Amino acid sequence: MIEAENIGFTGMFDVGRAAEDVFSDISSNPLGYALFLDIDGTLIDLAATPDTIRIPAELPDILGRLSQRLGGALALVTGRALPYADRLFEPHRFPIAGLHGVERRCADGRVARSMPTPAFEEAKRELARAAKAWPGVLLEDKTAAVAIHYRQAPCYAMEVDVTMQAALASIGPGYELQRGKMVVEIRPDSADKGRAVLAFLDEPPFTGRIPVAIGDDVTDEAMFKAVNACGGASIRIVETPAETAAQWRLPSPQSLRAALSAMAARS
């Protein structure tokens, strides 16, 4: 039984319905739905550093079976870079939006991405130098974006934020700051997860389906709003209370994995 709670949205889905009803609708009509899944904190539990997350051994195949049931209309929508995210789910290669939509691989394998500017490259080098002075703070070079993680050294939260704001100012137009859980990121402002979901919905096999977006963080709010506007369903993994546009919530990545596993198993 999934513990889920309606958080008061009164749109397409009736108040009182639980996230498990959304899953049961998908299960009884899998070719009518498209599923958009965040990775960190949603499919998998967050870890102390971004490199120490663990993928449950059975998860790649669960997603593989579920994707088959959905006729391929399952996409990952993540802040991670594509090669990293692909490695997590080997041997499967799902359609995916990486770096919050800065790069996107369609169902047919085509990859679209925006290229970093010279000013961005210079700011990235400066940030790498700055981060060395903060023990426990990690800089993640995502090529077209850059993130600084301070989960292991929260005392540097303010310094990291101020430094990232200065870096953003030095880069000039075309980039924006994105704050997440113990992380601040600079990335192209032309991309967000909502736009990535809408781009998928313009293409087969996603087009014409009811979109369902599942995420856990502020960066996922853009895709919640996008699917809400299309008459879809949005579910946020919420371990502590948070303001959200999502219509439904689930208590943990584990509860989501149990639901996905049950949907994948049904034939």
Half-sphere exposure in the Cβ direction for 11 (13 Å, CA): 17
Asked whether 238 and 102 are in contact (CB, 8 A), the reply is: no
Q: Does 185 bind Mg ion (CB under 5 A)?
A: no
Closer CB to Mg ion, 41 or 101, in the complex: 41
Q: Does 40 bind Mg ion (CB under 5 A)?
A: yes
For residues 174 and 178, what is the distance between their CA atoms, to the nearest angstrom?
Answer: 13
* Residues in 224-243 that interact with Mg ion by CB under 5 A: none
Closer CB to Mg ion, 120 or 224, in the complex: 224
For residues 160 and 147, what is the distance between their CA atoms, to the nearest angstrom?
Answer: 10
Angle between helices 221-229 and 193-201 (to 10 degrees): 40
Closer CB to Mg ion, 40 or 140, in the complex: 40
Q: Which stretch binds Mg ion (CB under 5 A): 41-49, 87-95, 221-229, 252-260?
A: 41-49
Closer CB to Mg ion, 39 or 264, in the complex: 39
One DSSP character per residue, 90-141 reads TT----EEEGGGTEEE-TTS-EEEPPPPHHHHHHHHHHHHHHTTSTT-EEEE
For the chain, the C-alpha Rg in angstroms (whole number) is: 18
For residues 157 and 149, what is the distance between their CA atoms, to the nearest angstrom?
Answer: 9
Work out which of 140, 192, 217, 221 binds Mg ion, going by CB under 5 A.
Answer: 217
Q: Which stretch binds Mg ion (CB under 5 A): 36-44, 83-91, 114-122, 148-156?
A: 36-44
| Given 25, 38, 202, 220, the catalytic residue | 38
Q: Residue 170: name the closest of 121, 114, 119 by CA.
A: 119
Question: Smallest gap, in angstroms, from Cβ of residue 237 to Mg ion?
Answer: 8
For residues 37 and 77, what is the distance between their CA atoms, to the nearest angstrom?
Answer: 6
Work out which of 26, 36, 41, 247 binds Mg ion, going by CB under 5 A.
Answer: 41
Q: Which stretch binds Mg ion (CB under 5 A): 37-45, 57-65, 108-116, 135-143?
A: 37-45
Q: Annotated catalytic, 45? A: no
Closer CB to Mg ion, 171 or 245, in the complex: 245
Backbone angles phi, psi at 36, to 5 degrees: -120, 115
Q: Does 38 bind Mg ion (CB under 5 A)?
A: yes
Q: Does 101 bind Mg ion (CB under 5 A)?
A: no
Active site residues: 38
Q: What residues make contact with Mg ion under the rule CB under 5 A?
A: 38, 40-41, 216-217
